[in-house]
Structure 1
Amino acid sequence: MRIESVLGTHRAHVVVVAGLLPLAGCAVLSAFRDSVANTNAALGLVLLVVAAASTGIRAAGLVAALSAAVWFDFFLTEPYNRFTITDPADIETAVLLMGVGAAVAEIALWGRRQQARASREQGYLDGVLRTASAVSAGRSSTDSLIGNVCAQIVEVLGIDRCRFDSGNGLVLATIEEDGGVTYNARPIDVRRLGLPTDTEIAVLAQSGGVVHGRFLLTSTSNVVHPSREQLRVAVALANQIGAALMTTPSQHPPGEHLPERPDDARP
């Protein structure tokens, strides 16, 4: 994560270096034109493109691929030191170098995205499991659990704030059990439109079909587009608090009033 943060902070520098690496490589290889075949030189340049693509910055991979093709032409094909190719085989090699380099860059980026997604999903699962373990073991107070869950929901969804509320006042938006989002009782496409920014968004904390409160989420500083999996993680976290409140009613947060359960209603 630290390396990725550094690379993201210096994207422009990374792209420039990615463009200069093939230039340096071709300049060095030009001193061995008689002993190194152009096909072998092209394979070496592909390695430089892969190295650039492994940074996770698409522009770096594409710039490296283009630079490799250009400087391969300039240094390693006749007439030398000119942007001209006369040998059809060298033309094919240059075109393939650029095409393969671009394809390899995209594949490398796809792999990094898949790895990042798997890492995020593992982090979500670990968060849910830690909360469930704390609830079942009774190691933490309800206040502490609620604060922990709020922090995890904020991190998972990328929103501004989260607070727990035991009331049942009107809220326009709700995250449903299946991870869908409704606004004014109508489903909305969060991946396309993002979470609503003009109202708090409710996530019910329930257990055994009984609602024990809700988390109210705020996302006003920017529009976020969480996936269905992220929204379901938020629901799972909220339900852990529902389970905690069901098993430890005496630890309800002070000042909060939980909805009365149907079986507690007086005749």
Structure 2
Amino acid sequence: MPRYLVRGPVPVIVGIAAPLAVCAVLLPWRAHLSNTDVALVLVVAVVAVAVLGSRIAGALSALSAALWFDFFFTVPYQRFTISKSSDVTTAVLLLAVGLVVSQLAVHARRMRVIAVTDAGYLAQIHDTAQLAQSSASPDAVIAHVSEQLIRLLQARSCRFEYGSLLGHPPRLDQDGSILLGRRVWDVDRAGLPDEELELRAFASGRFVGRFMIRPTPGATPSLQARLTAVTLADHAGSALDSAERPNTAR
């Protein structure tokens, strides 16, 4: 889905305008519809906005629905005043239900995205594990992992150094954090560091080499992506475990 449909002013405008549009459609049948039926239709509109838009859009849509319900469907009409206690209850419930359901809809959409993303990460880990356990050469596994790391971390390039620990570049640690010296770098706020990034590969607790990743400026790979990268590096380390490699950088 295009980002402008879920971020920025578009979903907010739609969230405010959608309940008004629904009320305009229902207004000619005001004498034949109960206020409960109108409220239910408005809840559907709020849910639709929340599913397609953002959390803020869903909340504003619920508020807009309650206000326009009051304005068009409660006595006195065309005034933000309610004279009947039953209509007050309906308006309050409309607002409350709209808010709750809209937040649940947004949460469900996010969980679906995470599930799809997790499935993609799992597939990459599975493919690499199979390759590492096959008769493929360690170099083939390293090349495969390097390509995956470029995609996962939105990097410009990636190379592998066998058994070398030269210098102190920023490091992608086992918990997915970025260490810059002794300081943890805030990837979500600042993106990846501009310097070449080190990702170490281990086998049976023994250091066997490291991937040197050249980040793309401004890239902000998620924690899930960074943890997947660490797992892929471990698979590369396992492929190197039984192979003899020179203790020099290539």
The TM-score range, normalised by the shorter chain, is 0.7 to 0.9
Instruction: Give the distance between the partners of 1:158 and 1:127, measured in 2 at CA.
Output: 15
Instruction: Give the distance between the partners of 1:239 and 1:107, measured in 2 at CA.
Output: 37
2:52 to 47, 52, 55: 55
2:165 to 147, 163, 168: 168
Partner of 2:226: 231
Partner of 1:90: 87
Structure 1 stretch displaced more, 9-18 or 52-61: 9-18
3-state SS, counterpart of residue 99 of structure 2: helix
Instruction: Give the distance between the partners of 1:56 and 1:163, measured in 2 at CA.
Output: 40
Alpha carbons 2:176, 2:227 under 8 Å: kept? yes
- 1:6-85 → structure 2 map (5 Å cutoff): 8=5, 12-85=9-82
Partner of 1:205: 201
Q: TM-score, normalised by structure 2?
A: 0.82
Q: Cα offset for 1:143? A: 4.8
Q: TM-score, normalised by structure 1?
A: 0.77
TM-superposition CA deviations, 1:108-141 (whole Å, max 9, x none): 11122222222222221110110111222235x5
Instruction: Give the distance between the partners of 2:143 and 2:52, measured in 1 at CA.
Output: 36
Partner of 1:115: 112
3-state SS, counterpart of residue 67 of structure 1: helix
Q: Which runs of 5+ in 1 are unaligned?
A: 261-267
Instruction: Give the distance between the partners of 1:69 and 1:47, measured in 2 at CA.
Output: 13
Instruction: Give the distance between the partners of 2:21 and 2:65, measured in 1 at CA.
Output: 10
- 1:188-267 → structure 2 map (5 Å cutoff): 188=184, 190=186, 197-219=193-215, 221-222=217-218, 224=220, 226-227=222-223, 229-247=224-242, 258-259=247-248
TM-superposition CA deviations, 1:131-169 (whole Å, max 9, x none): 111222235x55553343233223334455433223321
Partner of 2:151: 155
Instruction: Give the distance between the partners of 1:156 and 1:122, measured in 2 at CA.
Output: 14
Q: Cα offset for 1:204? A: 1.2
Structure 1 stretch displaced more, 128-137 or 210-219: 210-219
1:210–1:15 Cα change, 3 Å: same
Alpha carbons 1:174, 1:201 under 8 Å: kept? yes
3-state SS, counterpart of residue 220 of structure 2: coil
CA RMSD of aligned residues (A): 3.1
3-state SS, counterpart of residue 213 of structure 1: strand
1:156–1:207 Cα change, 3 Å: same
> What amino acid maps onto 1:125 in structure 2?
L
3-state SS, counterpart of residue 240 of structure 2: helix
Q: Runs (4+) of structure 1 moved beyond 6 Å? A: none
Q: Cα offset for 1:42? A: 0.6
Instruction: Give the distance between the partners of 1:178 and 1:82, measured in 2 at CA.
Output: 57
Instruction: Give the distance between the partners of 1:155 and 1:62, measured in 2 at CA.
Output: 36
1:9–1:28 Cα change, 3 Å: closer
Q: Which runs of 5+ in 2 are unaligned?
A: none
Query: Once the two structures are aligned, what percentage of the paired residues are identical?
Result: 35
Count of residues in correspondence between the two structures: 248
